[in-house]
Chain A
Amino acid sequence: MRPYLYVSLALIFAILLSLAIGSVFIPPRDLLAVLAAWLSGEALTGRLATYGFIIASIRLPRTVLVALTGAALGTSGGAYQGLFRNPLADPYLIGVASGAALGAVIAMSVRWPYTFWGLMAVPLAAFIAGLLTVFLVYTAARVGKTVPTTNLILAGVAFGSFATALTSFLMLRSTGEVRRALGWLMGGASQTGWLPVLGILPYLLLGLGVLLLSGHTLNLLQFGDEQAGQMGLPVGRAKNVILAAASMATAAAVAFSGVIGFIGLIVPHVMRMWWGGDYRRLLPLSLIGGAVALLLADVLARVLLAPQELPVGIVTALAGAPFFLWVLRRAKNQGYW
């Protein structure tokens, strides 16, 4: 119970922080005044009304989106690490992000009409392209009825590199869209409001729901496909299910938030270091931990160079690496993997 308590408290803290802090500084006293007015049903006026509006209409939906995205990346990262039995695995290993980026950049080179579907074109293209890439990688890696892990990784790297090269080429050709594409690639919510939340919610509920129930399966897979099969796991089917669920959750997260690195890699590692490698516990902890990590990174992104907002992907990369090294040094020197 203790780990769940700690990460849940951290999550609450991160949510409150994300609501209280942004590129506009709201003094704590005004913050409390806004809260008091909401609780008592009073109407806000003047400066306080503006603050209240900022918190409710800008920060709240963003907080929810960021938390969901972080949760998706953390859980998927943990699942991929378990599936591939590889500590370097992250949700982008088999090409979801590269494919999604290509889809997004292709969509950005078209001038869509300013309609609902026109505005959804980029995230939709990213989502579909991401899943399509995983499908292609899977098909390329399949040998008869099985999908050897090594093949998946190799095919993922191959397709990923190809997609990245194509993306770079496209960016070079349409220099007008380079800034927009770069911003997307570096990660960060390009859409605001509740629409992205509604957009990703069904895929996250489905994908993450399946993953949370796959802890035991992943434990079995740590012993290798053969031993897992001999203990009764229908290995092929189980791996496909986990692969599909994790890819779907990742594609949805990337579609609206761009490519945010490090969360999917580091959060499961940290959780594993602190509370062990039992996937039945690791995945839920990585879900909450991912949300916390990305929320904190997003707060930093808003604050470090205010009023300028950094892309979140830069913050996660810059902050993630040293943090991980620090945790690594402090961890007990025993094989936790």
Chain B
Amino acid sequence: MKRKLILAALALSLALAACAPVAGTPPTATPTPGPLDLIDGLGRPLTLTKPAQQVISLAPSNTEILYAIGAGGQVIGRDEFSDYPEAAKSLPSVGGSMGQYSLEQIVALGPDLVLASEINTPEQVKAMEDLGLTVYYLGNPTTLEEMYANLAIVGQLTGRDAEAKTLAQSLQVRVAEVDKKLALVGDRPTVFYEIDASDPNKPFTAGPGTFIDLLISRAGGVNVAASTQSSYPQLGLEQLVVSNPGILLLGDSAYGVTAESVAARPGWEVLAAVQDGNIFPFDDNLMSRPGPRLVDGLEALAKLLHPEAFQ
């Protein structure tokens, strides 16, 4: 008797599961003609029948780009870490810390475009694609020119082509301005950009291939880690002492690291930068998010390294 009961219960739940539609598309608004054919950063072909109006951004840089080109009103959801501009914070979050997103939340918001980045794995893109979502994977730029190109792409996706172009142009003007002011400067101070110094004997910094490295050179400095092998190397304190940077930039200032705390680190007092008091906090978000604020970062960095050129 009991065995029959179990079998009946199992059969019932299986039957219920079987009744469910196995795959399907999430309900979205019916599209109007005006197709847009694109290939995204993963080589996937995409077609948008009209500019996206309900965008979910899965990376802080994507969010910044969207708002910067005036598409902020077309964004309906964001990842956990998107905190700029202020308006983005009031959007519903779909997860993202520890690399896990809530697919359910994403689906429930009913987007017509999900803007992914290199933070997202191909599996995550595939998962969203399998659920019938339109996903565009925006690859990370490695140069400023590639970043402008990304602005144009997002402009295309959201029907803000004109604003994107205008933004790119204004950014280029600002960069050219910085270049002009720095052309007359002779010296190039050596810079150490600290990303993490939980172990003060082996701090993490940015090496070649990162925007930090690129912007330091562009801003008229020399990155002491420019000749290392990996993108985010750990530099030994001895190495740091030998290269003796003129300026220390604290990219980890958001985590409570201050010039005083750095000066107090045993062994760091021999550094010229410490002795001369050339330790400056720096907003890492300006350097690590591949969006329009990179130019803000460039300007801030240039002013820091060559204050005399920007009087």
**Direct A–B touching in the complex (beta carbon < 8 Å)?**
yes
Residues of A within 8 A of B (CB): 1-2, 4-5, 8-9, 12, 15-16, 19, 22-24, 35, 38-39, 45-46, 49-50, 52-60, 112-114, 118-119, 122, 173-176, 179-180, 182-183, 186, 188, 190-194, 302, 306-311
Residue ID in chain A nearest B2 by CB atoms: A5
**Are A24 and B123 within 8 A (Cβ)?**
no
Beta-carbon contacts under 8 Å, B88-114 to A: 92-105, 107-108, 110
Q: Which of B22-30, B60-68, B186-194, B300-308 contacts A (4 or more CB under 8 A)?
A: B22-30
Chain A contact residues, majority secondary structure: helix
A54 pairs with B100, CB closer than 8 A: no
Do residues B107 and A191 form an inter-chain contact, with CB atoms below 8 A?
no
Residues of B within 8 Å of A113, CB to CB, are: 43
Q: Do residues B102 and A38 form an inter-chain contact, with CB atoms below 8 A?
A: no
The answer to whether B93 and A307 touch across the interface, beta carbons within 8 angstroms, is yes
| Nearest 9 pairs of A and B residues by beta carbon | A56-B20, A183-B99, A23-B102, A192-B127, A38-B19, A24-B104, A309-B100, A307-B102, A114-B42
Give the Cβ gap from B206 to chain A, nearest Cβ, in Å.
10
User: Is there contact, CB below 8 Å, between A114 and B122?
Assistant: yes
B residues neighboring A (CB under 8 Å)? 2-3, 5-6, 9-10, 13, 16-17, 19-27, 42-44, 80, 92-105, 107-108, 110, 118-119, 121-127, 130-131, 230-232
Residues B231 and A57 in contact, CB atoms below 8 Å apart = no
Question: Complex Cα distance A272/B94, Å?
Answer: 41
When the two chains form the complex, which single residue of A12, A19, A50, A180 contacts B26, counting CB atoms closer than 8 Å?
A50
Whole-angstrom CA separation of A118 from B27 in the bound complex: 30
A190 to B126, CA, bound (A): 10
Measured CB to CB, the closest approach of chain A to B8, in angstroms, equals 11
Nearest CB in chain A: distance from B12 CB, A: 8
Instruction: Check A24–B98 contact: CB distance below 8 A.
Output: no
Complex contact B6–A8 (CB within 8 A) = yes
Chain B nearest CB: distance from A257 CB in Å? 12
Q: Are B24 and A57 neighbours in the complex by a CB distance under 8 Å?
A: yes
A179 to B276 CA separation, bound complex (whole angstroms): 37
Give the complex CA separation of A195 and B30 in angstroms.
29
- A58–B24 Cα distance when bound, in Å, is 11
Chain B residues, CB < 8 A from A1: 2-3
Selected contact of A50 from candidates B3, B21, B27, CB within 8 Å: B27
Given A1-B2, A12-B13, are A310 and B107 also a contact pair (CB < 8 Å)? no
Q: Is the CB–CB distance between A60 and B2 below 8 Å?
A: no
When distances are taken between beta carbons in the complex, the residues of chain A under 8 Å from B231 are 175-176
Contact A58 B103 (CB under 8 A): yes
A175-B123 contact, Cβ under 8 Å, with A23-B102, A188-B100: no
Which of chain B's residues has its CB closest to A2's CB? B2
Chain B nearest CB from A63 CB (Å) reads 8
Pair B13/A307 contact, Cβ less than 8 Å: no
* Residues of chain B lying within 8 A (CB to CB) of residue A180: 99, 121
CA–CA, A249 to B96, complex, Å?
30
Query: Measured between C-beta atoms, what is the minimum distance from B235 to chain A in Å?
Result: 14
A183 close to B21 (CB less than 8 A): no
Q: What B residues does A192 contact at CB under 8 A? A: 103, 127, 130-131
Number of A-B contacts (CB under 8 A): 146
Given contacts A24-B104, A24-B108, contact A118 B6 (CB under 8 A): no
Contacts of A8 in B (CB 8 A): 6, 9-10
Tell me which of A15, A24, A190 contacts B105 (CB under 8 A): A24
Q: Pick the contact of A122 from B3, B93, B123 — CB < 8 Å? A: B123
Please report the C-alpha to C-alpha distance between residue A182 and residue B13 in the assembled complex, in whole angstroms: 35
Query: How far is B13's CA from A19's CA once the two chains are assembled, in angstroms?
Result: 11
Chain B residues in 8 Å Cβ range of A2: 2
Asked if B6 and A23 sit within 8 Å, CB to CB, the answer is no
**Which residue from chain B places its CB closest to the CB of A183 in the assembled complex?**
B99
CA distance A16 to B14 in the complex (A): 11
A49 & B102 in contact (Cβ 8 Å cutoff)? no
What distance in Å separates the Cβ of A64 from its nearest Cβ neighbour in chain B?
Answer: 9
Q: A8-B9, A9-B9, A50-B107 are in contact. Are A309 and B102 (CB under 8 A)?
A: yes
Q: Are B94 and A45 in contact (CB under 8 A)?
A: no
A56-B24, A175-B230, A180-B99 known; A23+B104 contact, CB < 8 A? yes
Contacts A176-B231, A307-B102; is A49 near B127 (CB within 8 Å)?
no
Supposing A22-B104, A307-B93, A307-B102 touch, asked if A119 and B43 sit within 8 A by C-beta, the answer is: no
Whether A308 contacts B98 in the complex (CB less than 8 A), given A9-B9, A122-B123, comes out as: yes
Report the minimal beta-carbon distance from A85 to chain B, rounded to whole angstroms. Answer: 33
Closest to A188 in B: B100
Contact (Cβ within 8 A) A56 B123: no
Which residues on the A side are within 8 Å of B104 (C-beta)? 22-24, 54, 58-59, 302
Tell me, rounded to whole Å, the shortest Cβ–Cβ distance linking A11 to chain B. Answer: 8
Q: Is the CB of B10 within 8 A of A12?
A: yes
Known contacts A1-B2, A311-B98: does B110 contact A50 (CB below 8 Å)? yes
Is B130's CB under 8 angstroms from A193's CB?
A: yes
12 residue pairs bridging A and B, Cβ less than 8 Å apart: A8-B9, A23-B104, A24-B102, A53-B21, A53-B25, A53-B131, A60-B17, A114-B42, A114-B43, A179-B99, A193-B127, A193-B130
Q: Which chain A residues lie closer than 8 Å to B100 at the CB level?
A: 183, 188, 308-311
Q: A23 CB to closest chain B CB, in angstroms?
A: 4
Other A-B contacts than A9-B9, A50-B27, A310-B98, 10 sampled, CB-CB below 8 A, are A24-B107, A53-B24, A56-B22, A58-B107, A180-B121, A182-B99, A190-B124, A192-B130, A308-B98, A309-B95
Residues of A within 8 A of B17 (CB): 19, 60
- A57 surroundings in chain B (CB, below 8 A): 21-24, 131
Tell me, in angstroms, the Cα distance from A38 to B104 when the chains sit together: 20
